[in-house]
Amino acid sequence: MAKNQRTVRLSRLRTLPAWSLVAAGVVAGGLLGVEYGVVKPPAYTATSYVIAVPIDRSDTASALGFAQAYGRVATQLAVLGDAQVWAGVPVNILRDSVRTATSADAPMVSVSATSTRPTLSVDMANAVARALIRHADDTAAETHVQLLQFSRAVKPTAPSSASVKVTALVGASAGGLLGTLGLLVRLRRRPEEEQSARPASVPGPAVAADAHGRV
C-alpha cells in the first residue's frame, strides 16, 4: 500500500507544470530569507578615522605609505591588546568585530567596528583608533610620521545589517536558482525515462516467418 501511494505521489509530481519547480524554489527561499531576517539580531557599525601626517621634514608620500601600513597592523595583537582595555571586551571579540580600510589617494585609515549594541560598536572603533595612534607615536622618531584623530566614531542611528526585505529577496533569488537547476535536471531526465519506458520492438509474424523460411 505504501509503495502504491509513493507511486501515485511521484506520478502527480511528474504531472505538475515545469515552472512549478521554480515557483516553489522562489517561495521557499523567500520564506527562509524572511525567517533569517527576523531571527538574526540587527548589527550596527561605527567608524573612526585617523590621518597620517609627515613630521621632521618628511613628505606626504611617506605619510601615505605609512597609512597603508598602519591600516594593516591595526587589527594585530600589538594594537588590539591595548584597545581591549579601553573597549572593555576581549581581544578575540575585537579581532572578529573590527575592520580597517585605507585609501590610495589620502593618508587616512578608517577603523570600523560592528556589534549588536550601537554603543559597543562606538567604543570598539574609538578604542582601536586610540591604540593605533599610540602605537604610531611610539615609532614616530623612526618613521617621521604621526597619526592624528581625524574623526571619532559616533553612535549609529540605523543598523548596517541587511533588512528583512533584503534577506527575503536574496532567499527568493537563491531558491529560484535552485528551482531552475532542478527544472533543467528534470527536463534532461524526461527523454531518458521515455526512452527506457518504450517497449522493445518485436518482429511481426510475416517478418518472423520469412526469417524462419530462410533458415
pTM summary value: 0.63
Per-residue pLDDT at 181: 72
Going by C-beta distance under 8 Å and a sequence separation of 6 or more, which residues neighbour residue 190? none
What's domain 44-151's architecture?
A: 2-Layer Sandwich (3.30)
How far apart are the C-alpha atoms of 203 and 20, rounded to whole Å? Answer: 42
Cα–Cα distance for residue pair 28/176, rounded to 1 Å:
9
207 vs 189, residue with greater confidence: 189
The phi, psi pair for 101, rounded to 5°, reads: -145, 145
Judge whether residue 196 has pLDDT over 50: yes
Domain ranges within the chain, ordered by starting residue: 44-151
What is the rounded average pLDDT of the residues 97-110?
A: 93
Is residue 166 pLDDT above 80, yes or no? no
Pure H helices in 98-163: 118-138, 140-143
Segments of 59-107 assigned E as strands: 98-102
Instruction: Dump pLDDT digits (tens) for 108-151.
Output: 999 999 999 999 999 999 999 999 999 999 988 888 899 999 99
* Tens of pLDDT, residues 86-100: 999 999 999 999 999
